[in-house]
Structure 1
């Protein structure tokens, strides 16, 4: 489970935070979590197996919390053996109007900087190709014939 958990560290951190908040709100739950036969890996396995059995692909945070709590509450639920290979994704909370305004301002500033860079790049003089003198090839005739009467 350790290998598959690495790709889900953000989700597992959120789950641990959920459980810690539950322990604070309900101290008896902390005792259940301290059970040596239970582990976070087992809880994640139980979560993945339960969701897989349900046939769902997406569940909300309350469902996740309930499944995790069920794992720690019920003494007869075990780790389940071989871990399930799955990806767990945490959705971001809704942004406040203030956050949206700040992100919009940052995007506008970034856009302005990109436009300035592009204008500067376009206004720079383009490098002129260096003229190369071409000497006549060996054995080629010279186009002009010298004349004694021409001025030098």
Structure 2
């Protein structure tokens, strides 16, 4: 299969996904061994299906579903070659993304530290004095009455 260099990594990733599927589901390996099926046909079918959908970017699960469907079904029209460029997204973050995430983490850390300092320096709440009833037998402080005899 003659492919552009940018497609090679994507095709290798798809082959890896299909190999993992064969390990997990050995009967799928039999379907992939069908002489009327090929990786080139699978890639052409994949590109055609994505083009029909109008999407320009799809996730791994969608790619896998389309590839499995291609190998599962005997009566699939591959269609012609689609002139497209296939790339694999990398899970790595750009330096700009890393810097932004680091800044967000530092800001969150500062806020947490400030909250902790405020909590520690806040005046401790003193229990409110409560009125207690006089003990039994204790005199009650009463103002003297002039008319007491």
Q: Deviations along 1:102-123, whole A, 9 cap, x unmatched?
A: xxxxxxxxxxxxxxxxxxxxxx
Whether contact under 8 Å (2:7, 2:85) holds in the other structure is yes
Could you list the runs of 4 or more consecutive aligned residues of structure 1 that deviate by over 6 angstroms after TM superposition?
none
Partner in structure 1 of residue 83 of structure 2? 85
Give the TM-score, by structure 1 length.
Answer: 0.58
**CA distance change for structure 1 residues 73 and 5 in 2, over 3 Å: closer, same or farther?**
farther
How many angstroms does 1:92 deviate by? 1.1
Q: 1-side partners of 2:4 and 2:22: how far apart?
A: 23
Larger Rg: 2
> Are residue 3 (structure 1) and residue 5 (structure 2) matched?
no
Q: How many residues of Structure 1 are paired with residues of Structure 2 in the alignment? A: 96
Give the TM-score, by structure 2 length.
Answer: 0.59
Please give the root-mean-square deviation of Cα atoms over the aligned residues, in Å.
Answer: 2.1
Structure 2 gaps, min length 5: 99-149
Structure 1 gaps, min length 5: 101-152
